[in-house]
Structure 1
Amino acid sequence: MSSTRVRYITNYRMPFTRQLRIHHKTMDMKKLRINKLRRKQPEAPSRITNETVAEHREKILAGGRKFKYPIQYARHKLVINALLVTLVSFTFLFIVAWHQLYIAQNSSTLMYRVTRLIPVPVANVDGEMVPYNDYLSRLRFNEFWLRKYGDVKLDSKDGQTQLAYIKRQVLNTAIQDAYAKKLAPLHEVAVSDKEIDDTILQQRYTASGQISEETYYSALQMTNGWSKDDLVMSLRRTLLRNKVAFAIDTKAAKQAEEAAKLVASTNGDFPKVAEQLASLPGAKMTARNSDLVNTVSTFGGLQVSEVAKLEKGQVSSVIKSSTDDGYYFVKVIDKTDTQVSFSYLHIPLTMFSENLSKLKKDGKITEYIKVAEQEQS
């Protein structure tokens, strides 16, 4: 009996124990699932009050900072890359423009516009920059005329020789203009808009009468390739150079002052005046006679229209040339409605060119392009 009981109890308890173990394992797995689900669920926000608002704000800002710094780094890198690309582009354009201007000496419309927008030098005279656009303006004028009306082609050997001569002339003129600009404030010299307008008006007179302003500028564009702005800029430089040349030449001014006295006393005996004043410091005076000259033309630096206003046999007072040619005294020999002949006494200006020659000799003129020097005859 006892053995039967023990066997029963043993058989009964063993399956129950297994059941307990299985039950406990199942409960543990359910607890793990519940804990995982609880971790995944967002924490319910607590109530925001005046006391906790600062804490909540800090939590929100802290959560956003992890996104802020990567964006700032990417933006900083983008700005640096953009600056590098811009710098490389400008460097490349600068090298190309430098080569086209100073090595290839490109005189195209594009490079002319570039030099008008960006003031770059073609030379330097006594510390004064010689603008490249001044040089290109006159060079393009001559190139246009040679291509349209020249007897030789610019691409030929003779054409290149002629162009080299013109380049030297144009560069010398640009240097003179820059030197005059440097001296102008020292001598209180300036060119007004009225002086430019008067010069243009005078140029509009032809043998057949005065032409209209529209016709004048159209002809200028057709024959010279210049716009109105190009003409005004050129006239301003030329007039300023002429006025400065007169202002600094004290020797010629003294010669003209002394000549005026003798011209009046000799009734225009110009050879005698030139002979008596030969000992004065300054350039040599010349006394000559002209042929019949059209009244709307120029003679040297003289506007013949001014000479034509004199009566036959009348002697003028001192006349300043419209260029830097110097001083004139004239006496009308004969005249018609359209022509006039006259004798004249010419006193040239020399100090401006002498000063430039001295600056060149002293090494104070620097040219940034290679242009052949002209052989002195």
Structure 2
Amino acid sequence: MKLPSKKPKRSRYGTQATSTASATGLKDRLTALKPKQGSKKEGKSAKAKPTKTEASAANPNTPKKFERITNETVAAHREEILAGGRKFKYPIQTSRRRVIINTIIVALVAALLLAAVAWQQLYIAQSSNNLLYRMTQIFPVPVASIDGELVRYSDYLVQYRGSKFYLGKYDEIRIDSDDGREQLKHIKRESLNRALVDTYAAKLARQYNITVSDQDIDTVIEQQRNTANGKISQETYDASSRMMYNWSPSDYRQAVRRSIVRARVAFAVDKTADELQRKAAGLVASSNGEFAKIATELGGSGRSKPQVGDSGLINLASSYNGLAVSEIAKLEPGKPSGAIKSTTDSGYYFVKVNEKNDSKIRFTYLYIPLTELTKQVAQLKSDGKVQEYIDVPQK
């Protein structure tokens, strides 16, 4: 018996077969329409929105959002901050070196400018103000040279400034007048000549082993402190030298030192004057001090010729051509002395006291001058061994 075939169950949308077929077809169509994996990603990346970091970079005004710092991340954040600061370390060191280099350059330029101004003031304008004078005492800049020895500018200025100060304060001539300017030219020449002689004398002193101690300077100053009214104090003496020449105590001591050196060298190098004084000593002893006759017998000419003179009445506390009058006053009147060396580079003296009282004295003298040192300096000038670095009129 033939069973009747079972009809397919009909669903709401049709039969089950139809439903299955339809579902399979729909699945195939969806698979065909679905894009491939690669192209899907590419499309995504092409149409992807910018990230927050990219948006912040594109807009610098966007505030940066920092991550939260925890105990676990604090070490990493600290290292990140330190790493960011290290890039400023070496540029700062470079800047510091640059500051030092720039400072050195500025200092050198300033020093060069100062040297240029000082050179112009000393050698062109020939200024003699206090600042330049103190600078020449610190820095041994030369004003001339003699026989290979540099003449210090300060040695010239101390003489010139003292004479100029005295002229302006005690002389009736005004410095800014025509006569005053002529006097200053003469003072400049005399001061430069004195500095030349002092420098050359210092060179000869080294050759002859001639030295001057502080005690020698004190002895000379001690003698000069004796006045007609008694002995003055050192403070009064220093004030007097400042008032007369505007010299400080150290300036005056240096002037005394140079004077002693010059005098000792002048006596050491002048053999002619030494021979004349030896000859004169014998004649003075045999003639009882007939100085005029002795001078004629000694002969000579020019500056080296022996001279006879009379002091006139002078104060016992004074000095006369480098002679201490107080020492002469100890001689017996009418009796000639032996040879006396002056404390300056003047020469030898034979004296005879003619008149004396409690405060004054009068004596005659036979004078044998020292000329060798001056002759040597003049010869050096003739030989071209003297160079002057400032323009000073000759005479």
Q: How far apart are the structure 1 equivalents of 2:29 and 2:129?
A: 110
1:91–1:209 CA distance, 2 compared to 1 (3 A): same
Give the 3-state SS of the residue equivalent to 2:185 in structure 1: helix
Aligned partner of 2:349 among 318, 328, 332: 328
Report the Cα offset of residue 224 of structure 1. 2.2
Which is higher, the Rg of structure 1 or of structure 2?
2
Deviations 1:194-245 (CA, angstroms, capped at 9, x unpaired): 1111111111111111111111112222332111101101110111111100
1:105–1:14 CA distance, 2 compared to 1 (3 A): farther
Give the 3-state SS of the residue equivalent to 2:140 in structure 1: coil
Contact 1:290 1:341 in 2 (8 A): yes
Which residue in 2 is equivalent to 1:11? 26
1:281–1:156 CA distance, 2 compared to 1 (3 A): closer
Report the Cα offset of residue 84 of structure 1. 2.4
Q: 1:124-143 counterparts in 2 under 5 A?
A: 124-143=145-164
Contact 2:300 2:306 in 1 (8 A): no
1:353–1:72 CA distance, 2 compared to 1 (3 A): same
Give the 3-state SS of the residue equivalent to 1:332 in structure 2: strand
Deviations 1:312-366 (CA, angstroms, capped at 9, x unpaired): 1121111001111100001111111111111211100010000000000111000
Report the Cα offset of residue 157 of structure 1. 2.0
Q: How far apart are the structure 1 equivalents of 2:335 and 2:29?
A: 157
* RMSD after superposition: 3.3
Contact 1:301 1:322 in 2 (8 A): yes
Q: How far apart are the structure 2 equivalents of 1:98 and 1:129?
A: 17
1:14–1:140 CA distance, 2 compared to 1 (3 A): farther
Which residue in 2 is equivalent to 1:224? 245
Which residue in 2 is equivalent to 1:360? 381
Q: How far apart are the structure 1 equivalents of 2:361 and 2:204?
A: 37
Structure 2 length as normaliser, TM-score?
Answer: 0.79
Which residue in 2 is equivalent to 1:150? 171
Deviations 1:242-268 (CA, angstroms, capped at 9, x unpaired): 110011000000111111111111111
Give the 3-state SS of the residue equivalent to 1:371 in structure 2: coil
**Is 2:215 the counterpart of 1:194?**
yes
Aligned partner of 2:336 among 290, 315, 318: 315
Q: 1:271-350 counterparts in 2 under 5 A?
A: 271-278=292-299, 283-350=304-371
Q: How far apart are the structure 1 equivalents of 2:228 and 2:392?
A: 39
State the one-letter code of the partner of 2:210: V
Aligned partner of 2:135 among 114, 117, 122: 114
State the one-letter code of the partner of 2:137: R
Q: How far apart are the structure 1 equivalents of 2:118 and 2:30?
A: 100
Number of residue pairs matched? 348
Which residue in 1 is equivalent to 2:64? none
Q: How far apart are the structure 1 equivalents of 2:349 and 2:245?
A: 30
Q: How far apart are the structure 1 equivalents of 2:188 and 2:128?
A: 11
Contact 1:184 1:244 in 2 (8 A): yes
**Is 2:176 the counterpart of 1:161?**
no
1:265–1:14 CA distance, 2 compared to 1 (3 A): farther
Give the 3-state SS of the residue equivalent to 2:345 in structure 1: coil
1:14–1:132 CA distance, 2 compared to 1 (3 A): farther
State the one-letter code of the partner of 2:308: A
Q: Structure 1: 5+ residue runs without aligned partners?
A: 45-61
**Is 2:261 the counterpart of 1:240?**
yes
State the one-letter code of the partner of 1:172: N
